[in-house]
Amino acid sequence: MENSSKYLPHEGAKCSRCREKASICLPAHRACFCQECFVHYFENAVERGIKKMKLDRQKPLMVAVSGGKDSLATWQALHELGLNTKGLYINLQIDEFSPKSREAVQKFAQEQGLDWSESVLKTELGYTIPELHQKRQKKFCSLCGRIKRQLINRVAARENFQTVATGHNLDDEASRLLGNLIDDRQDFVKKQYPFLPSPHPSIPAKFKPLYRLEKKEILYYCELKNIQYLNQKCPFSKGATSKYFNQTLEFLEDKMPGTKRNFLYSYLKKEKKLVYEEPFNTCRECGEPSYMDICGICRLKNSLSRDDIKKL
Ligand code: AMP
Ligand code: FES
Ligand code: ZN
């Protein structure tokens, strides 16, 4: 496993669940597991998240899949737990990256016999990610993130899904929480909850099934389930500051196992589920729901045609 001798079991370590030979130790849980019990532990953590967030298991779920480890592990675990799922892949049309991520999604779906949809950025927006990047480089990841979120909402609504699952994991959530608290972005802190109810009939609820699982656990689950994910970072993701918050928490986790988990869970205990206060309008250009009188996608399209994307 990735640079984690700490996760390798010591000589003679036994599985905390079945007492067979352990293959992984999780210091944050003071537990070791054999392969089979680790899979049980992993899927049980997803199941606990489903129960805690009171997700309706009977409703079909759309799973936003990028082809990376987190979203494919999310899809696999939800499928194993018997939920009715369909994948959604947003094709950002990034050379050398998107074709490989698309292939990972396609292969996974085919092997598991699962259905998926594809949304192509140029068709939806009129521009590919590299074309947008030529126009604006500053804070590009956050612009791309907003575009992906809007497209995920639209496709899910078009296909009548009321809930979308994403692959955000415990490490992502804990480092984002740290960043939001340091910058005192209270609005963002509220929107970080692992389940966000639907604020409008054509905007799906959001669920993060892996919020209780760490990156290293996800890597091991992928290995055991033989999930062939794309292990490559998006070429435009350089410069994202989230990695510093992540490294800070990793440092603390190394000295005090369980810190990341305690930090995130103590916030979740305190924070109530988000209740939307802002009323929704309808975009006067495309008719989609929007906080303002023109939605984010139309504002983006307009600014691209005027060439003042830098302001967005
Ligand atoms: P990121 O913002 O890249 O960290 O991704 C967070 C989550 O958004 C992933 O775990 C996926 O669930 C979803 N996601 C990211 N990229 C895509 C994509 N190209 N298509 C569909 N879903 C995506
Ligand atoms: Fe959006 Fe890379 S995935 S910029
Ligand atoms: Zn066991």
Contact, 70 vs 213, CB < 8 A? no
- Is the per-residue pLDDT at 4 higher than 80? no
Give the pLDDT score at 3. Answer: 43
Is 141 a pocket residue for ligand 2 (Cβ < 6 Å)? Answer: yes
- Is the per-residue pLDDT at 136 higher than 70? yes
Q: Report the pocket of ligand 1 as residue ranges, CB < 6 Å.
A: 64-66, 70-71, 88-90, 92, 145, 148, 166-168
Mean local confidence (pLDDT), 119-146: 87
Contacts of 123 (CB under 8 A, 6+ apart): none
Would you place residue 8 in the very low, low, confident or very high pLDDT band (cuts 50, 70, 90)? Answer: confident
How does strand 205-207 pair with strand 163-165? parallel
Nearest protein Cα to ligand 2, atom 3:
234
Structure tokens at 253: 């986790």
For ligand 2, the distance from its centroid to the CA atom of residue 141, given in whole angstroms, is: 6
pLDDT tens digits, one per residue of 166-192: 999 999 999 999 999 998 888 778 788
Mean local confidence (pLDDT), 22-30: 94
Domain locations in the chain as residue ranges: 39-274, 278-312
For ligand 3, the distance from its centroid to the CA atom of residue 22, given in whole angstroms, is: 7
Question: What is the DSSP track for 133-183?
Answer: HHH--TTHHHHHHHHHHHHHHHHHHHTT-SEEE----HHHHHHHHHHHHHT
Q: What share of the chain has pLDDT > 90, as a percent?
A: 65
DSSP 28: G
More confident residue, 155 or 134: 155
39-274 adopts what CATH topology? Rossmann fold (3.40.50)
More confident residue, 7 or 257: 257
pLDDT tens digits, one per residue of 36-95: 999 999 999 999 999 998 999 999 999 999 999 999 999 999 999 999 999 999 999 999
How does strand 289-290 pair with strand 281-282? antiparallel
pLDDT tens digits, one per residue of 220-241: 999 999 999 999 988 887 666 7
Give the pLDDT score at 297. Answer: 84
Question: Cα separation of 73 and 220, whole Å?
Answer: 10
Is 132 a pocket residue for ligand 2 (Cβ < 6 Å)? Answer: no
Question: Cα separation of 252 and 249, whole Å?
Answer: 5
**Residue 119: Cβ within 10 Å count:** 18
- Is the per-residue pLDDT at 312 higher than 60? no
Is 236 a pocket residue for ligand 2 (Cβ < 6 Å)? Answer: yes
How much is the mean pLDDT over the chain?
90
More confident residue, 5 or 34: 34
Mean local confidence (pLDDT), 270-290: 75
Structure tokens at 295: 């939605």
Give the pLDDT score at 189. Answer: 81
